[in-house]
Chains A and B, each alone.
Chain A
Amino acid sequence: MSMFKDIPVEVGVIFEGERIRRNDLQVELGGPTVDKKFEIAKVKSMDQIEDGKVFVAGPDLKDLKEGGAYPLGILIEAAGAQLDAGLEGVIERRLHGYLNYIEGFMHLNQRYDIWMRLGKKSFQKGLNSFEIIGKVLYRLFKNELPIIEKLQITFITDASKIDSLYADALASYEARDAKARGLKDSEVDTFYGCVLCQSFAPSHVCVITPQRYSNCGAISWFDGKASASIDPKGPIFAIPRGDILNEEKGEFSGINEVAKKRSMGEVTKVWLYTAFDHPHTSCGCFEAVTFYIPEVDGFGIVQRNFKGATVNGLPFSTLADSTAGGRQIDGFHGMSLEYMRSSKFFAADGGWNRVVWVPKEVKEKVKDFMPNDIVDKIATEDDAKSIDDLKAFLKDKNHPIVAKWVVEEAVVPTAEDEIAPVMTASTLPISAGGFRIILTDAKIYASKVVIKKDESKAEKR
């Protein structure tokens, strides 16, 4: 491959899934036995970067003893007129893919948790210096992200140098996360749309805002920004936010226009912060689904890998089916796990105070983002296996939704459509009231009688 003809090993997407086992190991970098390791990207000004330079601070690959595990820091410094610090995370996460493209080099995890292995065979072929890895990274970054105009890469293996940089990196990750989570939809003028899923769900459009991740959980607003600036005609594109039409529900004129155009008029109005009336549509690969439980007027949430039935008796597959395919279904909502960490998470419906049931695996992941006093009031599969259990649990814990029940009990009709009538009155004239019917020597033949459950009586809200 001409782009890498001076590189002693092959470089290509095909090596992404390659695993390097202990027996084939030349050296391990980072990983569970090494305390301090990190990879970080920093956006700098143009004059701070020596374009194409690869620095190695400390022993190089060829100086490391075979079979050992060593600390490593990777510092990517980039500059470009259109780059800002908000894209650091995007640049940084490219490292995982790029390093795995290298034949005989494996990269796992991210940030302060990285774990890399170099295979013996590739080492013997000549992949014996970080300079070579740096060259590969440099070319891939410049090729895929033309908004990076200048780039320099530093590999640090000197333990004393890692110490100070490590602390600095941790602080940067924290600051970046705080900033990303603090960024509000109302503070930006551009959202991003993603139609990658249209290849399978032709009428679905994902709207990605600072406070709402893509349904699949794979694309943040920052990712959207990076992709759209690289390829504005591509499947991830900018949506000018437009006017705020309804701040509470999360309605923006820009989103409505795009939704209408991209869904061929199927969807004309999107409310980002609610599961009712005009919820965001769902593709098929969302990480979790929210479902309204009319009996308690609250939301259940279930993630894709949850085994078994949820509190209303339905499993993920059935609930997911209720909302997939780019449709707006009142009371159902496919979403990412990350959206649950957003302060706009169903904000118009009461946020976490409206949630009544969530599997413990999910609860554990997002409980730091729930209001403190609600965490124990939301049931998990251990607390409630049926609606009756759930009602009792919510009452017992005095979940805020309970207060609403008293008011609504008189209004909400109970749904009693569970038993399908064998034959309805209209199809069985004999039972018509008020008449005396006398049948003598009657013969009734039917080649087929179809009995259907009357769905019109199903209540949703």
Chain B
Amino acid sequence: MTAKNIHIKIDELKTNSGLVKNLELSIGKVVNENYNEPMGPTPMPSVTALRNWDLILLNKYQSFYIPDCDLCCLCTFGKCDLTAGKRGACGLDIAAQSARIVTIACSIGAACHSAHSRHLVHHLIEKYGRRYPLDVGGLNIKVEAPITRLVTGIKPETLGDLDDVLAYVEEQITQILASTHTGQEANTLDFGSKAFHVGMCDHIGMEVGDIAQISAFNYPKADPDAPLVKLGIGSVDRTKPVIMCIGHNVVPSIGIIDYAKEQKVDDNLEVVGLCCTAHDITRYYSRGRIVGPISWELRFIRAGLADVVVLDEQCVRTDVADEAAKVNSPVIAASEKNCVGFKNRTNDPTDAIVDDLVSGRVSGVLILNPDKVGEVAVRVAMKVAPMRKRKNVLPTEEEIVASAKTCTQCNQCQRNCPQDYAVPAALKAAATGDLSKLIDLYEVCIGCGRCEQACPKNIVIHSLIVKAGEKAMYAEDNLCRSGRGAVSDVEIRSVGGPIVLGEIPGIIALVGCSNYPKGGKDVYDIVREFASRRYIVAVSGCAAMAAGSYRNSEGKTIYEEFPGGFEAGGVLNVGSCVANSHIAGAAIKVANIFAKRNLRGNYEEIADYIHNRLGAVGLAWGAYSQKAAAIAAGFWRLGVPVVVGPHGSKYRNVLLGRKDNPENWNVIDARTGDIVNVGPTPEHLFSVMETKEECIVKISKLVMRPNDTWKGRAGKLSHYIDLHKRYMGVMPDDIHLFIRTPADIPITMKDEIQKILEENNWKETTIPDPTLLPRMVRKMKE
């Protein structure tokens, strides 16, 4: 508990022991500290405090830049052409410029999560007070904020304590963003280190937001049995008024739910969410519905399903207001970050706002008070729903055919489609009355609408696709497990044995957005592949929605098929974007729980521990946002490998290890100080995969770590080899690099692997107590 700005003034105080006159006592901050852990070397690290650690990683995994753009147009000296080794007016070359853009993207992402958390913390303090206690899992969680403790050295106990944590984050983001101004940072490695730093801050920002909202809104608390909630457009009861909330900040949605409950109309209307707000709605209100990821925005609005659209922040289509106007859906903008040009009506009488929206005098309003948003949204929805009669702008089938006939097959739609889908072919077929190809497109379309923008004939291609896929759309009635929040300490302890004994081959986290190369089914397939093989699979955000959107042969969704615990074969939805912090948090807690390593201000040691020991891999298959970049960067600094789908190459940078270069793979054995070559474990820190198959195989390889016990390594190799054979059709060519002792060889493959080892001149080595930090070498105590 921390108190701030205490001021005591005593004019005169007479006691037996003394006399005090005109005493003024002013204390900036009183910290009541019952946090006994000794402070590590780097509490609240400055921009350069962890630079040495960053350089160790950045030398092991060297940046490979993929310039998505050859020009720099950030200052007025430009545009500068940076091709073929040329430098710009400021002196930067293309590598440094690419690195700079990475750092900028990560800063935007970190700012976004942290500003979201700042708003939550401000709002919750205002509502519940600074002393409101944090509780993320009751007695089952000892370390409530692992990232915060690790980085800042603060153990937050109340909402008020989160203030100091955010203040640190905000300063760091400002410093990093400043370093990207023209004429500041010059070196690619330093830009890399700065991206790591701001990524680390991003994780704190996310953690602060989620532990604040879990505590104050009483979300499921580290609960493996968090309720199963409805997911998909088909799960929405279209006979009731529908309020659709888009974005990431749940506060206005909670205003809506509270008002509806208070007025006892909650059963008479549907509160549905899109993107992460949806997750957080269901964590608060299990009758809430998750419509889907960002890609479902256009289809839901154009189908006329939303009677009121409420916008908060992040990943909200900026043309929602125009789209909503076409179907007469009133819009309420509810975030300072996203005012959409509407008039600020926060202080106007509610009746007047309701009246204006219901009558259509205004198409949208800005309301910055969540309680007022709640009242306006509910009242407007109840009134307009009967009047709107579900106006939709989807074409009829006849109109589809007619429209498709105007297509000149210029191919602009396909050229602009991020996934290069064969839209012209689908239109050609549609022109003959065959809609099957459009229906196929519905299944994989990510709903960006670029095809329409590109069409010189103004065909509303996306609407054609949605109409053709209407039947499938209304059949989307699935289940998602409501976000459970953190992983409990007891769950972590329980998997220690199975991990060292090789029964759990690794931990995979599927996070992030929905820019999928072939639709969300890939995410489902990846989750199911690994969960069936008894990996622990964590999911969050849009990936958690994609995972829940399909069913197995018995008709069960992934959340019904697999348990929701942090356990072998568990599929655990941690929650929204900010809940991603619990995944890194769980990794950090492993070091504390099993090795009793101190967390407090002890970043480098813990990252070294995680990097060398914890077989965890992050996958953002549909990553599109700057936030996803920041999340990835936070994992990089912890030494956790991240894989992205094909569009991830547009982040401009990958961090690749060279398996052909043995020196790359030396670690220090902390027991002896000896240098031990451990092979490419893990091979890359950040890599891009083109196909689902390649991705699955790669992940199974990336879970290997230098500390694996022989049982653990044999298990991991079994899966790697099996998956490689299954998906690539051949044995992998690098098995010998991962076998340290004969015991590592999976027993069912002894003969063939022995042969491979002989062919590759393999030599036995040892299993070290691995570290990259010379200071971690232990000295024999006498």
Chain A positions near chain B (C-beta within 8 angstroms): 1-4, 11-14, 16-18, 21, 101, 140, 143-144, 196-203, 216, 218, 231, 233-235, 264-266, 283-285, 304-305, 307-309, 315-318, 320-321, 324-327, 420, 430-431, 433, 435-453, 455
Check B781 for interface membership: any CB of A closer than 8 A: yes
Q: How far, in whole Å, are A321 and B142 apart by their CA atoms in the complex?
A: 9
Residues of B within 8 A of A (CB): 17-34, 36, 139-142, 488-490, 493-494, 496-497, 499-501, 503, 532-534, 554, 568-569, 590, 592-597, 613, 670-671, 707-712, 714-715, 718-719, 722, 741, 743, 746-752, 767, 769, 778-782
B31 contact from A21, A202, A451, Cβ within 8 A: A451
Q: How far is the CB of A17 from chain B (nearest CB, A)?
A: 4
The answer to whether A304 and B748 have CB atoms under 8 Å apart is no
Establish whether residues B496 and A447, one from each chain, have CB atoms under 8 Å apart when the complex forms.
Answer: no
A17 lies within 8 A of B568 (CB): yes
CB atoms of A266 and B748 under 8 A apart: no
Which residues on B sit within 8 Å (CB–CB) of A307?
139-140
Q: Is the interface of B mostly helix, strand, loop or mixed?
A: mixed
In whole angstroms, what is the CA distance A437 to B21 when docked? 11
Q: Say whether B595 contacts A201, CB under 8 Å.
A: yes
**B594-A197 in contact (CB<8A):** yes
Q: Which residue of A is nearest B30, CB measured?
A: A449
Q: Given A216-B497, A430-B18: A17 and B534 within 8 A (CB)?
A: yes
Contact A264 B671 (CB under 8 A): yes
B33 touching A14 by the CB < 8 A rule? no
B20 in contact with A438 (CB, 8 Å): yes
Compute the total of residue contacts between A and B using a CB distance below 8 Å. Answer: 220
Using Cβ atoms and an 8 Å threshold, which residues of chain A touch B782? Answer: 265
Q: A285-B497, A285-B500, A437-B18 are in contact. List 16 more A-B contacts (CB 8 A).
A: A2-B751, A3-B752, A11-B748, A12-B718, A200-B496, A201-B596, A218-B497, A218-B501, A265-B781, A284-B493, A284-B595, A316-B490, A325-B597, A431-B17, A442-B23, A447-B28
Chain A residues, CB < 8 A from B494? 285, 304-305
Contacts of B497 in A (CB 8 A): 216, 218, 285
**Are A235 and B594 in contact, CB atoms less than 8 angstroms apart?**
no
* Closest-CB distance, B730 to chain A (whole angstroms): 13
A308-B139, A451-B32 as given contacts; A321 in contact with B489, CB under 8 Å: yes
Cross-chain contact A324 with B594 (CB below 8 angstroms)? yes
**Given known contacts A199-B613, A441-B22, is B17 in contact with A235 (CB within 8 Å)?**
no
Q: Could you list 28 A-B pairs, sorted by A, with CB under 8 Å?
A: A12-B748, A197-B500, A199-B707, A201-B596, A202-B671, A202-B769, A202-B778, A216-B497, A235-B710, A265-B780, A284-B593, A285-B496, A304-B493, A317-B141, A318-B142, A431-B17, A436-B17, A439-B21, A440-B22, A442-B20, A442-B24, A444-B24, A444-B25, A448-B28, A449-B27, A450-B33, A453-B33, A453-B36
Partner of B594, one of A200, A266, A430: A200
The one of B25, B595, B749 in contact with A202, judged by C-beta atoms closer than 8 angstroms, is B595
B781 touching A266, Cβ below 8 Å: yes
Instruction: Establish whether residues A420 and B34, one from each chain, have CB atoms under 8 Å apart when the complex forms.
Output: yes
The complex places the Cα of A233 from the Cα of B741 at a distance, in Å, of 10
A144 touches B596 (CB 8 A): no
How far is it, in angstroms, between the C-alpha of A1 and the C-alpha of B722 when the chains are bound?
10
Does A443 lie within 8 Å of B26, measured CB to CB?
A: yes
- Say whether A436 contacts B18, CB under 8 Å: yes
Chain A residues with CB under 8 A of B741: 233-234
Q: Which residues of B contact A199 (CB under 8 A)?
A: 500, 613, 707-709, 712, 767
B33 in complex: contacting residue of A11, A265, A452, CB < 8 Å: A452
Chain A residue with minimal CB distance to B782?
A265
Query: Which residues of chain B have C-beta atoms less than 8 A from A264's C-beta?
Result: 671, 778-781
A202 to B709, CA, bound (A): 12
B594 in contact with A201 (CB, 8 Å)? yes
The closest CB in chain B to the CB of A451 belongs to B32
**Which A residues are CB-close (under 8 A) to B554?**
21
With A143-B750, A451-B32 in contact, is A438–B22 under 8 Å at CB? no
**Is B493 touching A285 in the complex (CB atoms < 8 A)?**
yes
Once bound together, how far apart are the Cα atoms of A4 and B751, in whole Å?
10
Q: A13-B746, A321-B593 are in contact. Are A443 and B24 (CB under 8 A)?
A: yes
Chain B residues in 8 Å Cβ range of A216 = 496-497
Q: Is the CB of B18 within 8 A of A445?
A: no
Identity of the chain B residue whose Cβ is nearest the Cβ of A13 in the assembled complex: B718
The one of A3, A13, A235 that contacts B714, using a Cβ cutoff of 8 Å = A13
A327 to B494, CA, bound (A): 19
B204 to chain A, nearest CB (A): 21
List of A residues within 8 angstroms of B23 by Cβ: 439, 442-444
Would you call B743 and A234 a contact (CB within 8 A)?
yes
CA distance A435 to B18 in the complex (A): 8
Given known contacts A143-B750, A264-B780, A315-B140, A447 and B29 CB-to-CB distance under 8 angstroms:
yes
- A433 & B749 in contact (Cβ 8 Å cutoff): no
Q: Give chain A residues whose Cβ lies under 8 Å from the Cβ of B746.
A: 12-13
- Give every chain A residue within 8 A of B710 (Cβ-Cβ): 231, 234-235
- Is the CB–CB distance between B712 and A324 below 8 Å? no
